[in-house]
């Protein structure tokens, strides 16, 4: 099966605010039926990307096309209201003086009244909001308001949906259920969607692919599994979970670390390298059970419900300690002596400058 043609393509986008380069050569595409999450720390340029696609910001360099048509380039820019793009913001941005139906109808003024009403009724039903059509937004729950905002973004039958931190205004309990529901509705619509979030776990949960940004640049765009198992660098590795890491210089195709000697087959002698493993990949056993293991001393252990996180003293490690995460409850306590090792298949290697 061939992949569908992308709905939205961003090519070599560079964007400055004054002298500050907020977006630095970003290229990506999103296919119909695909949800692409853009994740990264605060200020890395995520929202600017969405604002460029929606037309709230003018493209200075590069090109944005949707459905094969150029929407924006330095030479040409469609006004926001003429772009086949629906946008949903973090705070929902519903109009408080308008009813739910009014909010959803907003922005469809170019359509004949009957068609507009039909589309509003359809969306109210899809979002299970029909009985709230005449209510005002402040009388609705956070989850219901979120669905109104999504209906409004979908009202003009966009080819692309843009969601900026769509769930961060919801409390923890509501967030998961609203997120599941909203993602289900988006998937059913088949509209290519870009979701911006600062939460890597949320990105993994809802994205078919995840684009990781750092300081205006795209560092890696991949499936959640590939980002977790084959991160492009240590920044990406750390974003998707805690790691133990050791830095050093390659000698004879190996790096000696306090956790053992690791092969570095692709690196030349003298190269600086970082060896890392996820804390859940650190194996622990009573001393003497594995030839490759090193002795460690339990500093403390924290039961976290689904897992237990263990802090272990390891002389020579950065800050003198490493961490392990074991599933469920594990009966280890401060002062216990254990042996630790990591399967070579689980070791990640990153060249450093
Ligand atoms: N209108 C503006 N004028 C000047 N600088 C801006 C403007 N908008 C954003 N910036 C700066 O550009 C950079 C990227 O901002 P952007 O909002 O795209 O980041 P972000 O990754 O979405 O951050 P957050 O997660 O905090 O929303 C930041 O350093 C920000 O301070």
Whether residue 232 is found in the same domain as residue 313: no
| Ligand 1 centre distance from Cα of residue 245 (Å) | 31
Q: What confidence category does residue 171 fall into, taking pLDDT thresholds of 50, 70 and 90? A: confident
| Ligand 1 centre distance from Cα of residue 22 (Å) | 7
pLDDT at position 94 is: 86
Whether residue 205 is found in the same domain as residue 278: no
ipTM reported for the complex, 2 dp: 0.97
Whether residue 66 is found in the same domain as residue 183: yes
Nearest CA to ligand 1 atom 1: 17
Lowest mean pLDDT among 2-11, 124-133, 162-171, 324-333: 2-11
Whether residue 14 is found in the same domain as residue 61: yes
Rounded Cα–Cα distance for residues 170 and 90 (Å): 9
Q: Is 33 inside any structural domain? A: yes
Average pLDDT of the chain? Answer: 91
Q: Is 164 inside any structural domain? A: yes
Whether residue 178 is found in the same domain as residue 293: no
Q: Is 187 inside any structural domain? A: yes
Whether residue 230 is found in the same domain as residue 258: no
pLDDT reading at 313 higher than 90: yes
Rounded Cα–Cα distance for residues 95 and 87 (Å): 15
The residue that leads in pLDDT, 271 or 222, is 222
Question: Of 236, 268, 286, at which residue does a domain stop?
Answer: 236
Number of other CB atoms surrounding residue 267 within 10 Å? 17
Residue 261, both tokens: 């000697």
Q: How many domains is the chain partitioned into structurally?
A: 2
pLDDT tens, 178-199?
A: 888 889 888 988 999 999 999 9
pLDDT reading at 19 higher than 60: yes
| Ligand 1 centre distance from Cα of residue 48 (Å) | 6
Check: CB of residue 216 under 8 Å from CB of residue 22.
yes
Q: Is 2 inside any structural domain? A: no
Q: What confidence category does residue 4 fall into, taking pLDDT thresholds of 50, 70 and 90? A: low
Question: Of 208, 236, 264, at which residue does a domain stop?
Answer: 236
pLDDT tens, 36-73?
A: 999 999 999 999 999 999 999 999 999 999 988 999 99
Question: Of 220, 236, 252, at which residue does a domain stop?
Answer: 236
pLDDT reading at 133 higher than 80: yes
pLDDT at position 95 is: 87
For residue 278, give the CATH number of its domain. Answer: 2.40.50.140
pLDDT at position 128 is: 85
pLDDT at position 185 is: 86
pLDDT at position 290 is: 75
Check: CB of residue 195 under 8 Å from CB of residue 50.
no
pLDDT tens, 201-232?
A: 999 999 999 999 999 999 999 999 999 999 99
Half-sphere exposure of 71 (CA within 13 A, CB side): 27
Rounded Cα–Cα distance for residues 191 and 271 (Å): 46
**Ligand 1, from 43, 168, 199: best to mutate by most atoms within 8 Å of Cβ?**
43
Specify the pTM: 0.90
- Sign of the C-alpha dihedral computed for residues 316, 321, 322 and 326 taken in this order: positive
Whether residue 118 is found in the same domain as residue 189: yes
Angle of helix 113-126 relative to helix 142-154, nearest 10 degrees, comes to: 140
Q: Is 104 inside any structural domain? A: yes
Whether residue 45 is found in the same domain as residue 191: yes
Rounded Cα–Cα distance for residues 78 and 71 (Å): 6
Q: Which residues line ligand 1 (CB under 6 A)?
A: 17, 20, 22, 40, 42-48, 198
pLDDT reading at 3 higher than 70: no
| Ligand 1 centre distance from Cα of residue 47 (Å) | 7
- Sign of the C-alpha dihedral computed for residues 257, 261, 265 and 271 taken in this order: positive
pLDDT tens, 134-163?
A: 999 999 988 888 889 988 988 888 999 999
3-state secondary structure the chain: CCCCCCCEEEEEEEEEECCEEEEEEEEEEECCCCEEEEECCCCCCHHHHHHHHHCCCCCCEEEEEECCEEEEECCEECCHHHCCEEEECCCCCCCCCCCHHHHHHCCCCCCCHHHHHHHHHHHHHHCCCHHHCCCCHHHCCHHHHHHHHHHHHHCCCCCEEEEECCCCCCCHHHHHHHHHHHHHHHHHHCCEEEEEECCHHHHHHHCCEEEEEECCEEEEEECHHHHHHCCCCHHHHHHCCCEEEEEEECECCEEEECCEEEECCCCCCCCEEEEEEEHHHEEEECCCCCCCCEEEEEEEEEECCCEEEEEEECCCCHHHEEEEEEECCCCCCCCCEEEEEECHHHCEEEECC
For residue 27, give the CATH number of its domain. Answer: 3.40.50.300
| Ligand 1 centre distance from Cα of residue 49 (Å) | 10
The residue that leads in pLDDT, 127 or 300, is 300
Smallest CA-to-CA distance from 12 within 56, 48, 63 is with 63
Ligand 1 atom at minimal distance to the Cα of residue 44: 21
pLDDT reading at 1 higher than 60: no
pLDDT reading at 2 higher than 70: no
pLDDT at position 107 is: 72
Q: Is 56 inside any structural domain? A: yes
pLDDT reading at 170 higher than 90: no
In percent, the amount of the chain with pLDDT more than 90 equals 63
Angle of helix 142-154 relative to helix 172-189, nearest 10 degrees, comes to: 20
Q: Is 3 inside any structural domain? A: no
Whether residue 136 is found in the same domain as residue 194: yes
Q: Is 110 inside any structural domain? A: yes
Whether residue 133 is found in the same domain as residue 278: no
Whether residue 217 is found in the same domain as residue 126: yes
Chain CA centroid to CA 69, Å: 27
Nearest CA to ligand 1 atom 31: 43
Whether residue 179 is found in the same domain as residue 324: no
Check: CB of residue 29 under 8 Å from CB of residue 6.
yes
**Residues whose CB is less than 8 angstroms from the CB of residue 253 and which lie 6 or more positions away in sequence, other chains included:** 263, 264, 265, 267, 269
**Alpha-carbon torsion angle 36, 235, 164, 110, nearest 10:** -50
Residues spanned by the domain of 268: 242-351
């Amino acid at each position: 099966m061939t992949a569908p043609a992308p709905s939205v393509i961003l090519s070599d986008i560079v964007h400055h605010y004054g002298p500050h380069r907020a977006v630095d050569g970003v290229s990506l595409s999103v296919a119909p039926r695909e949800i692409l999450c853009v994740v990264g720390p605060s200020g890395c340029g995520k929202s600017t990307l969405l604002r460029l696609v929606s037309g709230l910001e003018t493209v200075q360099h590069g090109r944005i096309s949707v459905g094969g048509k150029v929407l924006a380039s330095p030479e040409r820019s469609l006004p926001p209201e003429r772009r086949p793009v629906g946008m949903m913001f973090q705070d929902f941005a519903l109009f408080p003086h308008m009813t739910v139906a009014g909010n959803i109808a907003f922005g469809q003024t170019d359509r004949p009244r009957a068609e507009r009403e039909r589309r509003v009724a359809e969306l109210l039903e899809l979002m299970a909001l029909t009985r709230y059509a005449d209510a005002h937004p402040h009388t609705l729950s956070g989850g219901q308001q979120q669905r109104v905002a999504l209906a409004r973004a979908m009202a003009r039958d966009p080819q692309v949906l843009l969601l900026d931190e769509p769930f961060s205004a919801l409390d923890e309990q509501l967030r998961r259920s609203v997120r599941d529901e909203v993602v289900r509705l988006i998937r059913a619509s088949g509209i290519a969607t870009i979701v911006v979030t600062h939460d890597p776990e949320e990105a993994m949960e809802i994205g078919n692919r995840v684009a990781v940004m750092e300081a205006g640049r795209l560092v890696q765009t991949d499936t959640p599994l590939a980002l977790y198992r084959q991160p492009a660098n240590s920044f990406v590795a750390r974003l998707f979970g805690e790691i133990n890491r050791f830095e050093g210089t390659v000698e004879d195709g190996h790096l000696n670390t306090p956790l053992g000697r690791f092969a570095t087959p692709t690196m030349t002698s003298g190269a600086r390298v970082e060896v890392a493993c996820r804390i859940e990949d650190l194996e622990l056993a009573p001393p003497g059970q594995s030839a490759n293991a090193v002795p460690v001393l339990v500093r403390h252990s924290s039961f976290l419900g689904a897992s237990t996180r263990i802090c272990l003293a390891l002389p020579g490690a950065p800050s003198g300690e490493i961490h392990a995460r074991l599933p469920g409850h594990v009966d280890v306590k401060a002062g216990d002596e254990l042996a630790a090792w990591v399967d070579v298949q689980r070791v990640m290697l990153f060249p450093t400058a």
